[in-house]
Amino acid sequence: MLENKNYLRKLMLTVTELLVGQKETEIVNILNDSEISCEEVHYDNWNGGTTYYSINIITNVEQFIKILPIQDVIEDKIKQNLELILRTLENEKISSICIIPQSTQQIQWDKIINLYSKDEFVSEINYLKDIMIAVATGSKMIQDVNNEYQKKYLKFNEAMRSLGLENPNPYSQLWQWYGKWSSGELPQYKDRRTFIGKMFEKLLKLTMESQQSELLNISVNLNGWDRIERSVREIKFRISQAQVEEQFQAVGLLCRDTIISLAQEVYNPEKHKILDNIDVSRTDAKRMLDAYFSSEIPGKTNENLRRYARSSNDLANDLTHRRTATVKEASICVSATISLVNLIGILENRQM
């Protein structure tokens, strides 16, 4: 009976309810968050035969480390409750409870920064999924969408390779997918929808469960700021790959160029008066942003904002010329630059 997955699931639900009643909150949380399996470890043929089982509770590494000092106690309590439920079974016994740590797979977003953000990656998966369903259910014609599908597929496949993940979608063009569903394996529309849903199900789940670092997140809408958007994407990619001084310096150069592009985008000479009345060059980000902040946010807060913009620009300039640039300095520079983009985006009413 214990080898039956449905029986095991009901059994562990009963154990969990007993532990809730015993106020064993920590153990309940472990059981709720873990994958549970059962394996036969010994068979004793004496007196009609008795099968001994081990119950394996697979939890994430972080949770396992937390309970490590009392792991034995937790395993014993689970075993006691299981034995209480199974006491009427003479030919099946619990030999042991094993809580086992297992690393949780996460998408490393920095590996595809040059291709997608997390939201863009999810959108791309949904595009591929939706278009495959659409052509297989008659709402779109393959010849109308196949070229775009192939372009999207190539980019998506490149991202999957960069992530070290197997692409669940083997159909690089829609005619291949047509060959699959028209062969008779998927005769009804609902069969095709189910097939595509299952194909992408695990990847979508992994994607939604994998957190993207908030430190380098753009929180404003960059539509229309194409150069800045490309620069930010390149900065994120370069900082994730940089290992030596020259590469860290290159990150600083990108940050400086991004700040210049940002200043050029928002500075309006008719509206934003240069404070010293001397003509400003197209690359003088510091003075353009000083004028921008003075005009857009008048008052005592100006100096703090100007100082912030000036510091971000100076940091990028300094890093570009520093022969001993380090990953820490490059990361600070990137963070300051992206924060500046977010700040000005908010002033420009570009909140998402």
Mention every residue, 6+ apart, whose C-beta is less than 8 A from residue 9.
36
308: phi then psi, degrees, rounded to nearest 5: -65, -50
User: Is residue 254 domain-shared with residue 342, that is, in the same domain?
Assistant: yes
Residue 28 belongs to domain with CATH number: 3.30.70
Lowest mean pLDDT among 103-117, 242-256, 274-288, 337-351: 103-117
Q: CA dihedral in degrees (157, 162, 168, 170; nearest 10)?
A: 40
Position 230, amino acid: R
Closest CA relative to residue 148, chosen from 134, 160, 159, 162: 134
> Does residue 218 fall inside a structural domain?
no
Output the pLDDT for position 144. Answer: 96
Last residue of one domain, picked from the residues 72, 102, 132: 102
**Residue 156, both tokens:** 């998506």
Please give the backbone phi and psi of residue 43, each rounded to the nearest 5 degrees, phi first. Answer: -130, 125
The arithmetic mean of pLDDT across residues 76-87, rounded, is 93
| Edge-to-edge strand list for the sheet holding 35-44 | 35-44, 50-60, 92-102
Does residue 27 share a domain with residue 88?
Answer: yes
pLDDT in tens, 105-137: 678 887 787 788 888 899 999 999 999 999 999
Token pair, residue 303, equals 């100096």
The pLDDT of residue 213 is above 60: no
Q: Over pLDDT 90: what percentage of the chain? A: 43
55 to 5, 72, 263: CA distances (angstroms) = 12, 14, 62
Determine the pLDDT at residue 103. Answer: 67
Domain boundary among 49, 76, 102: 102
Q: Are residues 115 and 97 in the same domain?
A: no
Given a contact cutoff of 8 angstroms between Cβ atoms, the answer to whether 235 and 334 are in contact is yes
Task: Give pLDDT, residue 137.
Answer: 95
- Residue 261 in this model has a pLDDT that exceeds 90: yes
Between CA 109 and CA 237 the distance in angstroms is: 10
In a domain, 26, yes or no: yes
Predicted pLDDT at 215: 52
Q: What is the average pLDDT across 258-275?
A: 91
More confident call, 56 vs 218: 56
The residues pairing with 43 across neighbouring beta strands, listed in sequence order, are 51
Per-residue model confidence (pLDDT) at position 192: 96
Position 247 in a domain: yes
pLDDT at 352: 67
User: Is it the case that residue 258 has pLDDT exceeding 90?
Assistant: yes
User: Among the listed ranges 16-25, 103-112, 157-166, 202-211, which one has the minimum average pLDDT value?
Assistant: 103-112
Q: What residue numbers bound the domain in which 134 lies?
A: 109-209
User: 194 or 300: which carries more pLDDT confidence?
Assistant: 194
Is 131 contained in some domain?
yes
Is the pLDDT higher at 107 or at 24? 24
Question: Is there a domain that residue 256 lies in?
Answer: yes
In this predicted structure, what is the pLDDT of residue 105? 67
Is pLDDT at 214 greater than 60 in this prediction?
no
Shared-domain flag, residues 176 and 115: yes
Strand partners, 100: 58
The verdict on residue 215 lying in a domain is: no
150 pLDDT band, cuts 50/70/90, is very high
Give how many domains the chain has, as a whole number: 3
pLDDT at 212: 59
Same domain for 27 and 9: yes
Q: Which of 102, 135, 159 is at the close of a domain?
A: 102
Report whether 273 contacts 293 (CB < 8 A): no
98 with 119, same domain: the answer is: no
Q: Are residues 17 and 96 in the same domain?
A: yes
Other CB atoms within 10 Å distance of the CB of residue 149: 21
List pLDDT tens digits, range 290-349. Answer: 888 888 888 777 778 777 777 777 777 677 667 677 888 888 888 888 888 888 998 899
Residues 180 and 287 in one domain: no
Instruction: Give pLDDT, residue 121.
Output: 92
Q: Which of 70-74, 121-125, 183-187, 207-211 has the lowest mean pLDDT?
A: 207-211
- Say whether both 233 and 198 belong to one domain: no
Q: What is the pLDDT of residue 130?
A: 96
Shared domain for 202 and 128, answered yes or no, is: yes
Pairing label, strands 50-60, 35-44: antiparallel
Question: Is residue 217 in some structural domain?
Answer: no
Judge if 120 and 52 occupy the same domain: no
216 pLDDT band, cuts 50/70/90, is: low
Calculate what percentage of the chain has a pLDDT beyond 70. 96
- To which residue do tokens 């700021």 refer? 225
Nearest to 269 by CA among 257, 284, 255: 284
The verdict on residue 220 lying in a domain is no
339, two tokens: 């924060």
- Same domain for 115 and 48, yes or no, is no
